[in-house]
Structure 1
């Protein structure tokens, strides 16, 4: 574990002018800057806004997963008093899409998933709008839906998008396959995988699955739009990324960017579900039809599950060749991502999963084929972890089973195969000592749960309860999945009292970016934190550009932009002070009070005197308002070769690991998570409290996806659990008694003060760590999440000893017909290697 601080700026002056030195702010635990505003209820969210003459909208949703629309009768709805606008798809000649432009604002001719919007109403009240929606009559020809991605992948499957070949898409990064249901295929090729399998003593193959999951932020999606005369459009939205909303909206509506303004106040959580564009185009069209009156649409909780996007489901097949000493020689990985009805972010999730598929392991020979597959289900989008939660479930369960198959302790197996300086990733990136330390994270997580032994208290717990305790670990990694030209900017403005305001477009969605960036600005300016304010409201007319608030890239990119903006402001201040003090700028220094001559500290000028221009006694003025601008763009990233996947897709990697302790009833399969711990290489901790909050929140969210969350459909594609009644998320009662996190600090050489992001990582490998712990306790082999008690019971009933895994599969062949849960294991050299006892 290293703590490289060589990237930090020079130490502050010991006696900086007339004031006392300001203590450091980076690395110090400060309360979140918006705490009081939120706790008192003063914080305003989009749903709190009331505009003069505002109308309220509701949508008519399809009860079918796949159907032709034969006719829509809106006459009764239009005649209802209080209704000002009714819309159907045929009135709207627009398509929207993030990477593939494949979605109508309202379904036109066909519906592609249960809950899709087919009509919309704007009325004087929510109640009138809801009544009007019920009066709209839609005639359907119901068609058989395509629900299974493996069926949709077949060449003769019905096409969800027969027009796929005519859609616009981002050609540099994505590869839709016209005439199929494949929206994108991501290929990665490294080494010679066939030769790698030929060198293996064991070949283990298995399939892992997980369902779609809803984001369930506390604040549901909400948008208010006013389409004024002259096509001047103002959008208030709960969006994560205001510039993305503006850019995609203008592309769809064929409007210039300077005619559309997007404003984002406080946001009540996003987790990726608010990253793209969703309700805004529909609400805008209702406003235009209603004569320019502002229109508000807020999704109900049930609409969040069916109208709006979810996390994609995944089927993951992994085939691994390994020697008896634990060295992986080859790995073949095939991912089938269930995108649902539209591509949205799912194609980029597929891309990111492809270049990250190996996890933090060194694979000398490997292939990845990752497919984005259209089905007739609610569509997938970004979700915290951006695909990594899903595929790490399979990868880290697979690593556990590979270790068991060759009779090696799974912790030791991981140690032997982890990336290290000099390792080469799947896409050809060379790992260095500055990249991060996955081994330190793994060791910290294992140590925190006393992996490999029972404590006296745990032994007594087993004796007293009859339940068996198991301990499991799982690794993780993730890098920002973003375009190679991702850029951001920051503006720091000084007020006349010497305080500053930071303007950015990175959205505060609960991750604490306003606090962390305020600390970075305060550190760079050498100001106390209370002198720095980060503006809350994001506004595309007033704030500098930022790509999106996604990918755990905000701290690194916006942090660097903030440092550069502070440097720019200081440079201006020094230039003015040099004239006032008749000194060379090189001889100046500064503190929280002002700028002074380094070797004559009492000879200085205050920040308030410099802030808006310095005035000499005779009335002459020099300088001007101090406004610093910082711009930062990701360096060195490239597109990936479409055939080999080689390139540099990752700005930085954050490594981590989880450790979990469970107790399991070996007869019934009932289990409890007793403890969960984690460790992440965050580069450098900016705010310990924020990091801990991210980690604990992420682990609890990871418990939900591991234990209880997931969409369930009937055979007609109707979602059976579109609410918290049947689709549970964890509550405070589900949090383990012991939940811990630790920070490893290997400074990111290009990070702000050495920091890197950790927003998504805490939930990534919670599920496989639980699965591994249950397996250590009972031998139950779990291949599907969520993991419910009955799943453990079924696994216990079907559990076979490892000796029975050996198959007669010919050497070098690949099983591609594995049903969920089946395992193929092949030993290359006799005699049969006996598995070690299950580690507890």
Structure 2
């Protein structure tokens, strides 16, 4: 690749060869000398008081070092809501709740011993329906909720099962409903779904005798893991080192804290030996976390001409036994309730509610996907009821960048993209208004449909990111960032940004693919569609800092004012006189004069990003600026329905997103393709199923079907597409 042309090119991901050759190292591959192996012992009851734990037989198994219970580590942890124990203390809250952990010399020994732990329970009343769980007479899962630490943006209601309530008020929704000519009154249900990532959750932890804790983990948020452990366990930050090598998928399911604190405490309690915990696929389904289920009740008022006057919605999120991350998902679901539309009157209540099911957490879309889905269904129903083409109905209600205000009171900036252009392109590519292709069989029918969406990064205003640009002696660059790389290709895009700042090839920029909190630059988390924007901005600012140092030194050497110099094509040049230049490799470690005198030293640029655009939201009305940008998009499909079997096949799919400048069109296409397949799979196939005791009854890929290659439509690329 020629210099200065990296941004906008389809650069192959830096880690591609390592992955396809099987040489990428994941946490699963990591074992330290003397490592012990851990196995969970989980509850067989959905809600019960623990009356006795007998570990005698388990400890007698050869090679067993310890059998640990919640009494050995009575800590509560959590990022937004400190509601979670490391192992069950006093009672269990779902079928699959970890009660004990066996630590042994071998995994086989740990597994054998885990079957011999005898736990006695006293059954407690259960509640599995989140709407029922909100009722005053419902059994309480967290009697001590009032004692839990929680972030100030959240509103738990002690004495109930409501882990958080978020309210959004914009205009007068009751007045709008009264003035409407037609009112859509309906209820929608979203099922629990699994993240189904390639690599199950696993951790290696070593609590060393000097008090330092080193942890290798398959996670999205090493700095947040460090923060939660420091604050919850009372360990100094600089004594906790979190390392994340390659991560086999996350999709939000590895955000926040996973099993790191539990395994670290186990390492300490067994005499400071390393301990490794690898969840089986079944354990990941039944003892890990899924995306929450949702019950949404809506009332939406429309005028006969199609204008939407009012939207009233209540989201009830089935948060499961622990709601640490789901409280924020519900918040995002609330402030994104209006979707891509300008609705003058909006009222939304969003509740995260405890039930006796598996805990829930973040997942791709982070609340936006669910709220978009509900509102798009409402618009479809309204179009039918009003007798208006659904494309026309949507078009007349769309947000207008530079003019419209969102339901949180934010004036929509002109630079965030335009949903009107998205809709126009989507309809054209789908062939909306044209007849569908003939079905493949007489007992099948074909039909077209589309939906619009919006997504913004879900992060607090102080969620910062930083970057370091370090030059080597030959003017190659090491970019040090904290954002993770588990399929989305962020680090490749970052290297493209940095390469163009100095006019060098992208191959001359290296980004370390392992995160290490003791060495990597800080970033809040790799979640919520924020990584490239926040860490990219920090990287660009680090480049500017490095450029200033380079130009200051070059100004001394060339005896030319700095404002007359520029950096590009791997050198520092005088503007208008490119023959007067210094190669970067001759200056980035200091400049050596012919007589040996040296000025300057190694160039290290630093940059950070912390949003000045967002604000905290009003705790009563939800007014404020919740996100740093909005991305508008849409998906359209042509499907074939078998009237005999009920099966649905997607014949054609179109995706349109207003992304601005595509830094890497190849990676962008991969994200769009992957996002579509995942969304299609969730819509058509996926559902975590529970029995009447809250057990997950399909805890593997035999029972939990995800889209295969045969299910994916073969849609030709539009002309000019990457």
Q: Does 1:117 align with 2:94?
A: no
Alpha-carbon distance, 1:741 to partner: 8.0
**Corresponding residue number in structure 2 for 1:90:** 71
Q: Does 1:492 align with 2:469?
A: yes
Q: d(CA) in 2 for partners of 1:606 and 1:740? A: 43
State the secondary structure of the residue aligned to 1:60. Answer: strand
**Corresponding residue number in structure 1 for 2:384:** 404
Match of 1:242 among 222, 241, 246: 222
Q: Contact conserved, 2:457 with 2:628, CA < 8 A, in 1?
A: yes
Alpha-carbon distance, 1:414 to partner: 0.6
List runs of 5+ in structure 1 lacking aligned partners.
Answer: 1-19, 745-840
Q: Does 1:153 align with 2:130?
A: no
State the secondary structure of the residue aligned to 1:434. Answer: helix
Q: d(CA) in 1 for partners of 2:110 and 2:478? A: 42
State the secondary structure of the residue aligned to 1:583. Answer: coil
Spell out the pairing of 1:27-42 with structure 2 (5 A cutoff).
Answer: 27-42=8-23
Q: d(CA) in 2 for partners of 1:479 and 1:742? A: 29
**Corresponding residue number in structure 1 for 2:453:** 476
Q: Contact conserved, 1:149 with 1:338, CA < 8 A, in 2?
A: yes
Q: Contact conserved, 1:676 with 1:739, CA < 8 A, in 2?
A: no
**Corresponding residue number in structure 1 for 2:172:** 192
> CA separation of 1:208/1:98 partners in 2, compared to 1, >3 Å: closer, same or farther?
same
Q: Does 1:141 align with 2:122?
A: yes
Alpha-carbon distance, 1:597 to partner: 2.2
**Corresponding residue number in structure 2 for 1:332:** 312
For the aligned residue pairs, the C-alpha RMSD in angstroms reads 1.6
Q: d(CA) in 1 for partners of 2:666 and 2:193? A: 28
Q: Does 1:512 align with 2:489?
A: yes
Q: d(CA) in 2 for partners of 1:350 and 1:671? A: 31
> CA separation of 1:501/1:318 partners in 2, compared to 1, >3 Å: closer, same or farther?
same
Alpha-carbon distance, 1:333 to partner: 0.7
Alpha-carbon distance, 1:668 to partner: 4.6
Q: d(CA) in 2 for partners of 1:636 and 1:388? A: 20
**Corresponding residue number in structure 2 for 1:449:** 430
Q: d(CA) in 1 for partners of 2:356 and 2:720? A: 42
What is the total number of aligned residue pairs between the two structures?
720
Alpha-carbon distance, 1:230 to partner: 2.6
Alpha-carbon distance, 1:740 to partner: 5.6
Encode CA deviations 1:155-187: one digit per residue, 9 max, x unaligned.
11111111111111112x100001111011110
Q: d(CA) in 2 for partners of 1:545 and 1:686? A: 23
Spell out the pairing of 1:21-32 with structure 2 (5 A cutoff).
Answer: 22-32=3-13
Match of 1:566 among 519, 543, 549: 543
**Corresponding residue number in structure 2 for 1:423:** 404
Match of 2:506 among 505, 529, 541: 529
Alpha-carbon distance, 1:505 to partner: 0.5
**Corresponding residue number in structure 1 for 2:202:** 222
Q: d(CA) in 1 for partners of 2:100 and 2:570? A: 60
Spell out the pairing of 1:635-784 with structure 2 (5 A cutoff).
Answer: 635-666=612-643, 668-738=645-715
Q: d(CA) in 2 for partners of 1:65 and 1:194? A: 40
**Corresponding residue number in structure 1 for 2:260:** 280
Encode CA deviations 1:672-712: one digit per residue, 9 max, x unaligned.
11111110111211111011000001111111110111111
Encode CA deviations 1:697-753: one digit per residue, 9 max, x unaligned.
111111111011111111121211111111111111111122768999xxxxxxxxx
Q: Contact conserved, 1:331 with 1:367, CA < 8 A, in 2?
A: yes
Alpha-carbon distance, 1:366 to partner: 1.2
Match of 2:163 among 183, 200, 219: 183
State the secondary structure of the residue aligned to 2:413. Answer: coil
Q: Contact conserved, 1:72 with 1:139, CA < 8 A, in 2?
A: yes
**Corresponding residue number in structure 1 for 2:281:** 301
TM-score normalised to structure 1 length: 0.84
**Corresponding residue number in structure 1 for 2:270:** 290
Alpha-carbon distance, 1:388 to partner: 2.2
Match of 1:594 among 571, 575, 578: 571
Alpha-carbon distance, 1:21 to partner: 7.1
TM-score normalised to structure 2 length: 0.98
Encode CA deviations 1:370-426: one digit per residue, 9 max, x unaligned.
111000111110000002222322221111011101111111111111111311111
Q: Contact conserved, 2:81 with 2:324, CA < 8 A, in 1?
A: yes
Alpha-carbon distance, 1:667 to partner: 5.0
Which stretch shifts more, 509-518 or 585-594? 585-594
> CA separation of 1:246/1:740 partners in 2, compared to 1, >3 Å: closer, same or farther?
farther
Q: Contact conserved, 2:2 with 2:505, CA < 8 A, in 1?
A: no
State the secondary structure of the residue aligned to 2:416. Answer: coil
Q: Contact conserved, 1:203 with 1:320, CA < 8 A, in 2?
A: yes
State the secondary structure of the residue aligned to 1:262. Answer: strand
State the secondary structure of the residue aligned to 1:576. Answer: helix
Q: d(CA) in 1 for partners of 2:544 and 2:190? A: 47
Which stretch shifts more, 595-604 or 41-50? 595-604
Encode CA deviations 1:316-363: one digit per residue, 9 max, x unaligned.
111011011000111111100010001111000011011001110111
Q: Contact conserved, 1:679 with 1:743, CA < 8 A, in 2?
A: no
Q: d(CA) in 1 for partners of 2:696 and 2:291? A: 14
Alpha-carbon distance, 1:670 to partner: 2.9
Q: Does 1:79 align with 2:60?
A: yes
**Corresponding residue number in structure 2 for 1:7:** none
Which stretch shifts more, 94-103 or 601-610? 601-610
**Corresponding residue number in structure 1 for 2:42:** 61
Q: Contact conserved, 2:95 with 2:693, CA < 8 A, in 1?
A: no
State the secondary structure of the residue aligned to 1:304. Answer: helix
> CA separation of 1:235/1:742 partners in 2, compared to 1, >3 Å: closer, same or farther?
farther
List runs of 5+ in structure 2 lacking aligned partners.
Answer: none
State the secondary structure of the residue aligned to 2:587. Answer: helix
Q: Contact conserved, 1:314 with 1:391, CA < 8 A, in 2?
A: no
State the secondary structure of the residue aligned to 1:230. Answer: coil
State the secondary structure of the residue aligned to 1:690. Answer: helix
Q: Contact conserved, 1:184 with 1:372, CA < 8 A, in 2?
A: yes
**Corresponding residue number in structure 2 for 1:621:** 598
Q: Does 1:261 align with 2:246?
A: no
Q: Contact conserved, 1:238 with 1:274, CA < 8 A, in 2?
A: yes
Q: d(CA) in 2 for partners of 1:52 and 1:236? A: 14
Q: d(CA) in 1 for partners of 2:427 and 2:393? A: 13
Alpha-carbon distance, 1:611 to partner: 2.1
Q: d(CA) in 2 for partners of 1:590 and 1:641? A: 46
Q: d(CA) in 2 for partners of 1:740 and 1:550? A: 29
Which stretch shifts more, 498-507 or 656-665? 656-665
Q: d(CA) in 2 for partners of 1:62 and 1:124? A: 24
Q: d(CA) in 1 for partners of 2:280 and 2:248? A: 14
Q: d(CA) in 2 for partners of 1:84 and 1:68? A: 27
Alpha-carbon distance, 1:590 to partner: 2.6
Q: d(CA) in 1 for partners of 2:146 and 2:642? A: 54
Q: d(CA) in 2 for partners of 1:742 and 1:141? A: 66
Q: d(CA) in 1 for partners of 2:99 and 2:638? A: 48
Which stretch shifts more, 65-74 or 438-447? 438-447
